[in-house]
Amino acid sequence: MPVVVGIAFRNVSRIYYFFPGGIENLERDDHVIVKTARGLEIGTVVYEPREVPDEELEGPLKPVLRRATPLDMMKREEFSAKEPEAYRICKEKIARAGLNMKLSQVKYNFDGSLLTVYFTAEKRVDFRALVRELSHALNTRILMRQIGVRDEAKMIGGIGRCGMPLCCSTWMREFSPVSIKLAKQQDLPLDPDSISGVCGKLLCCLAFEAPVYADIQKDLPRLNAKVMTTMGKGKVKRVHTLKRRLVVWLEDSEEMVEMDAEDIIKELPRR
């Protein structure tokens, strides 16, 4: 199995595999220089050299070129300090051109030879003239990169409806698929404002909590299931999963009664 090292280029971003390239004793949090599609970049070691199966590799891998020096780190900081001004210029030129796009972030590679402009847009944008203007104004190569609203939230950060910093910008390296089925499983209101995050997409925490709900629901009767309870036969009308309580319509008294899951003797077979 090949030996690789896991490297990330931003905090809590996706981890990419590189070959150690003859660099010995690479440790977590070491800074290294690697060649990427955007030119030379400084990355941070997240996974120390390890063997991985061939099927985990996505095409040929590039080697780590060398460890980053203090001079490299100073150069990166120098260009990072120029990003706010580059952002201002980009935003000004986008507005002047009347382009239907929203600027999210700009990022220099470590030696300033390339500026990546991240933006969101509902439709395809013809930004060829903009690229020429920006390249002339900033005296560097420009790479335009359209991203989704979830990626934008991850870049910019913010506070979620729970009052905590966004998961995607603090610890989530990659997004998990989230469907409306998870909201239904957790008996949440299907109002978009109630189950959407600051990005406007379904809350990522629906996916985090799904295994807990699934584990509890294994021992609970289904919605509309006919059951035998300690108070007689009935039909389940509502399930409070986390509380392990149910609202049951009782046949004999024709009343709706809330009870603990332990009050359900058994689920009756379907007819």
- The residue extents of the domains of the chain are 3-68, 79-147, 154-216, 226-267
Give residue 1's pLDDT: 81
Q: Cα angle vertex 117, ends 103, 176, to 5°? A: 80
Q: What is the pTM of this model?
A: 0.80
Hey, what CATH class is 79-147 in? alpha beta
Q: What is the pLDDT of residues 91-132, one digit of tens each?
A: 999 999 999 999 999 999 988 999 999 999 998 999 999 999
Q: In this structure, how many other beta carbons lie within 10 angstroms of the beta carbon of residue 167?
A: 19
Contact 66, 75 (CB under 8 A): no
CA–CA separation, 249 and 221 (whole Å) = 14
More confident residue, 167 or 39: 167
CA–CA separation, 116 and 136 (whole Å) = 15
Q: Enter the tokens of residue 240.
A: 């409070």
Say which residues have a Cβ less than 8 Å from residue 69's Cβ, sequence separation at least 6: none
Contact 225, 254 (CB under 8 A): no
Handedness of CA 214, 219, 220, 224 (dihedral sign): positive
